[in-house]
Structure 1
Amino acid sequence: MIDPDTVLVPTLGRPREGEALAYALETFPNADVTLLAVVTPLDARMSEGGVLERDDERTAAAREGASQLVAGVDQPAAADRVEIDTAAGQPGTVVPQYATDHDVDHVVMYGHDTRSSGLVSRFLGRGVATTVVDRTPRPVTVLE
């Protein structure tokens, strides 16, 4: 495998995503790494009346969570090598589009839909990682 210049690590705010970031930093020590905090938009009808957080608050929280992931990685100079970005949308659409738009060479992600997949993923037979692999025209490494 040719060492990539750019690596994308998407995060959805789920456990063990720090492992994907650590893997990317260790495996591709010369690559620029982007940690993409994906914010799935809420249905506007559900959020009327301020019952749920506004999108800007959710985006800020996702960025903060991504910053904590970077800080929690035991890698020298991780903060200097990782750029944090955010994107709103469905992860299976946002991640492949981001990889294409930003000319990313490789995607590394934790396999949210392996072994412990949720009821909806099991019912539909697909999960986030599977969708990203199918839709991304770049190599994708999925960690379990």
Structure 2
Amino acid sequence: MTRRILVPYDGSPLSERALEHTLEEFPAASVTTIYVIDPVSSVYDVETGGLPVSEDWYEDAQERASEIHAAAEQLAGSHDVELTTITVVGQPAREILDYVSDHDVDQVVMGSHGRKGIGRAFLGSVAETVTRRAPVPVTVVK
């Protein structure tokens, strides 16, 4: 039986570590990375505290998602693992949990945090929410 592992991947160093951990520890698993486009970032840039971000926020976010997926695929390729990547729009913890519930995921492996500064405090901890509410085991990589 092939394990199905979901790795929330936002391009941050900790999400990269989580993906690396998954690729090393579960080489035979079916691995999917999920990138969540958060609409809050269309109104408020949580990284800089600036308002507004951009009129073309969605196109910019899609472009960023493509870059992030390419980086994840490159990392997986260095381990000879084929990776499935998906992009969804919504609140990160909710979208991750919905994906787990809807897609027969066996485990989530994620970084302990992705955002820094005010963004982390403003949005709360995605890793904490996923860990508390996921119906499957969650490995948090520090």
- For Structure 1 versus Structure 2, the TM-score category normalised by the shorter chain is 0.7 to 0.9
Aligned to 2:13: 15
Q: CA deviation at 1:23?
A: 0.7
1:55 has 2:54 as partner: no
- Using the alignment, how far apart are the partners of 2:26 and 2:75 within structure 1? 18
Aligned residue runs from structure 1 range 21-36, under 5 A: 21-36=19-34
The superposition leaves residues 56-110 of structure 1 with CA deviations (integer Å, 9 ceiling, x where unpaired) of: 44123213212113314574313xx211111111111110111111111110001
Unaligned runs of 5+ in 2: 45-51
1:66 has 2:69 as partner: yes
Would the alpha carbon gap of residues 135 and 30 (structure 1) be closer, same or farther in structure 2, given more than 3 Å must change?
Answer: same
Higher RCO by CA contacts (8 Å cutoff, separation 6 or greater): 2
- Using the alignment, how far apart are the partners of 1:76 and 1:43 within structure 2? 33
- Using the alignment, how far apart are the partners of 1:23 and 1:106 within structure 2? 13
Q: CA deviation at 1:54?
A: 3.2
One-letter code aligned to 1:9? V
% identity of equivalent residues: 33
- Using the alignment, how far apart are the partners of 1:9 and 1:133 within structure 2? 13
**TM-score, normalising length from structure 1?**
0.77
**TM-score, normalising length from structure 2?**
0.78
SS in 1 for 2:108: strand
1:118 has 2:117 as partner: yes
Q: CA deviation at 1:130?
A: 0.1
Q: Report the RMSD for the aligned CA atoms in angstroms.
A: 3.0
- Using the alignment, how far apart are the partners of 1:135 and 1:42 within structure 2? 22
Would the alpha carbon gap of residues 122 and 45 (structure 1) be closer, same or farther in structure 2, given more than 3 Å must change?
Answer: closer
